[in-house]
């Protein structure tokens, strides 16, 4: 599917699930003056580590930004900031940027449908395929570690992966849009959004990945008429692709 058709399909699905809820995340456009938190996420009701972007690394003595992810500019649309993957730490798996929200405080419950939308760029340009992944996860207990824990997007905490996607490679820093959808299938303490990038030995991954405009919404099921419209739209896209 070429980028135009993929973008059109994205818009149709987003329209079908459009609701009145504001995003459940904090600083999803990364334009707040504060930087990312160098810290873990404790999975307990009402914990202060919820509702902030978490990564690993600190400003070093020379003043350079040593975090695995940092804020950079310009963001999508040529304005504001975005989250940029840095090369801090030893090469390897799982440079993670994550935020968790308290299920009870957000008014979420089992059976609710979630829609995560975001813009990204993901330049490979290396000898290895340094993939970038997006995850929606449900946490039940434990501690999400800021440091890589193998390929586990739960960061060592207890829970489940609700949805995941390996993001396509892009040719430049032009942002493209994507989404994840999932239902809350159990009584979780928190819902997490995790972006996880690999950077294997011998590769330089700094500045080659970007995330912006991250929105997490609770969505109601579309009306039958809207579903019918969505189906016709996707059929039309399929016919256009064949022609």
Distance CA 195, CA 65 (A): 19
Q: 122 CB contacts (<8 Å, ≥6 apart)?
A: 132, 167, 168, 169, 170, 208, 209
Provide the pLDDT for residue 61: 41
Q: Which two tokens stand for residue 227?
A: 């579903």
CATH class of 22-221: mainly beta
pLDDT at 33: 87
pLDDT at 187: 97
The pLDDT tens digits along the chain (243 residues) read 455 455 555 555 555 555 444 689 999 999 998 888 888 999 999 999 999 999 886 544 444 556 788 899 999 999 999 999 876 555 567 788 999 999 999 999 999 999 999 999 998 766 666 789 999 999 999 999 987 667 789 999 999 999 999 999 888 899 999 999 999 999 999 999 999 987 776 666 777 889 999 999 998 655 455 555 555 655 555 555 555
Annotated domain spans of the chain? 1-17+222-243, 22-221
Six token digits for residue 149: 């824990």
What are residue 4's phi and psi, to 5 degrees? -65, -45
């Amino acid at each position: 599917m070429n980028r135009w058709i993929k973008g059109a399909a994205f818009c149709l699905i987003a329209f079908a699930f459009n609701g009145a809820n504001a995003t459940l995340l904090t600083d999803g456009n990364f334009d707040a003056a504060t930087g990312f938190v160098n810290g873990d996420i404790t999975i307990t009701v009402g914990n202060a580590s919820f509702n902030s972007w978490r990564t690993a690394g600190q400003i070093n003595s020379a003043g350079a930004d040593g975090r695995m992810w940092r804020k950079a500019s310009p963001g999508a649309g040529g304005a504001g900031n975005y989250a940029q993957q840095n090369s801090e730490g030893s090469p390897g798996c799982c440079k993670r940027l994550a935020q968790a929200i308290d299920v009870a405080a957000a008014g979420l419950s089992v059976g609710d449908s979630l829609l995560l939308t975001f813009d990204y760029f993901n330049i490979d340009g290396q000898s290895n395929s340094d993939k970038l992944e997006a995850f929606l996860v449900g946490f039940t207990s434990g501690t999400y570690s800021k440091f890589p824990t193998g390929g586990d997007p739960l960061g060592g905490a207890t829970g489940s992966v609700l949805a995941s996607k390996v993001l396509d490679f892009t040719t430049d820093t032009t942002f493209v849009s994507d989404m994840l959808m999932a239902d809350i299938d159990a009584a979780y303490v928190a819902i997490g959004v995790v972006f996880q990038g690999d950077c294997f030995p011998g590769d330089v991954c700094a500045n080659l990945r970007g995330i912006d405009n991250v929105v997490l919404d609770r969505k109601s099921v579309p009306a039958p008429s809207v579903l019918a419209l969505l189906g016709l739209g996707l059929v039309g896209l399929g016919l256009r692709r064949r022609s």
